[in-house]
Amino acid sequence: MTDLLKLTRPDDLHLHLRDGAMLKAVLPSSAAHFARALIMPNLVPPVVTAAQASSYRDRILSALPDDQPFEPLMTLYLTEDTDPNDLSAAFQSGLIRAVKLYPAGATTNSASGVSNFERVRPVLERMADIGCPLCVHGEVTDDAVDIFDREAVFIDRVLDPLRRATPELRVVMEHITTAQGVDYVRANASGLAATITTHHLFLNRNHILVGGIKPHYYCLPVAKREEHRLALRKAATSGDDRFFLGTDSAPHLDHHKESACGCAGCFTALNTMPLLAHVFEEEAALDKLEAFTSLNGAKFYKLPVNQDTLTLEKSQTPVRFAKTVASEEGDVTVFDPRVSIYWQVQNHVL
C-alpha cells in the first residue's frame, strides 16, 4: 500500500545558498520543494547593506531554473557598523525580512560578526521599533566555554539580557540544539521562536565521533547528547507554533569537508522533506508536519500561507537519494542519515 501525505508547500526559514558556481549547483534542490527560503547573508564579503542584499537576490533569481517558482527572503548580516537607516529602509521596503546576528568567530564566515553587543544596541532598538526580526546564531565564542555548552551559556550570558534590555525585539533562536534552548522558548510567551534543523533531529555527538570522525555530520552548532536530540524531536513534533523548520542546509565542497580542518555544515536541502516525514512518523506526529514546515514560520514572519502544495509518498521499499550534487568546482555530499527512508516527494524521484 502506498501512503500519500499532502501538505501546504513548505518554507525553509534558514538556508545557505552560497554564491557563484555553488549557488547554481544547490539552488534547484531547495527550489524543487520549498516555496520560500530565508537566505543567510554570510558570504565573503558578507551581505551587510541593502544594496548588497538586492544584488544577491538578483543573482539568486538569475540562477533559478525557469520551471521552479521560488522566493528568496533576504537578510542582512549584523555588524558593529550596521547603519540603522539603511537597515530600516531595506526592511520597510520588503527587500529584507530579518537581520542575522553572528557572534564573531562562531561559525562559517562569521569573522565580521559582533564582539561588543553594546555597540549594536541602537540597531536592535530600531529593529524593535519597526518589527524587524533578529535571527540569532546562539553560541558564545569564549575559549573557556566547552563547545558543547556554548548554546546554553549564550542563552544566560547574552540572549536573555539582550531580550530584557529590548523586550519588543522579535527574536528567532536559529538551529537550536539543546533542551535548554527548547525550554527557553517555551518559557517565553511571545516575540520568541526557534528553528530546528533536519540533521539535528537525526544526530547526536556519538554519530559524529564513534567509529571514526564523520566529516559530513560535523556542523555548528555541533550536535549534542542524545537527551538534547530527543528534546528537539519532541519540540518539532509538538505542534507548538514557536518551533518551525530552518534546515541550515550548508553546502561545502567535499574536499573542503574532508580536510585536515573540515568545514562545518550539513547539506540537507535535497532530501529534507522525506527525512522529516520519517521523523514525524516515528514520533506518531505526521499530522503535525505541515505546521512545522509550512504554517508556523509563515505566521512568525507575517507571511501569507503558500497556496500550492507538496505531496509526499511512502513506498514499500527504501528510497535511494542522490549521494552528491555536482558543481563546477567539485561535488557536495548530500546528508545521509544512515537509516532506511521510505518517503519521497511525489513526482520527484531521485
- The burial of 349, by beta-carbon neighbours within 10 Å (0-12 exposed, 13-18 middle, 19 or more buried), is given as exposed
SS3 47: coil
- The burial of 101, by beta-carbon neighbours within 10 Å (0-12 exposed, 13-18 middle, 19 or more buried), is given as buried
First to last CA, the chain: 21
Residue partners of 212: CB distance under 8 A and separation at least 6? none
The single residue listed with the C-alpha cell 533569481 is 61
Does residue 302 contact residue 256 with C-beta atoms inside 8 Å? no
Does residue 274 contact residue 319 with C-beta atoms inside 8 Å? yes
- The burial of 213, by beta-carbon neighbours within 10 Å (0-12 exposed, 13-18 middle, 19 or more buried), is given as exposed
Amino acid, single-letter form, for residue 240:
D
Candidate list 11, 12, 240, 248, residue with the active-site label: 248
As given in the structure block, the three cell numbers for residue 305 are: 500561507
SS3 209: helix
Beta-strand (E) ranges in 17-88? 36-39, 71-77
As given in the structure block, the three cell numbers for residue 147 are: 563547545
State how far the Cα of 348 lies from the Cα of 261, in Å rounded to an integer.
35
State how far the Cα of 197 lies from the Cα of 201, in Å rounded to an integer.
7
State how far the Cα of 288 lies from the Cα of 309, in Å rounded to an integer.
16
Mark whether 81 is an active-site residue. Answer: no
Does residue 267 contact residue 250 with C-beta atoms inside 8 Å? yes
State how far the Cα of 98 lies from the Cα of 50, in Å rounded to an integer.
12
Active site residues: 248
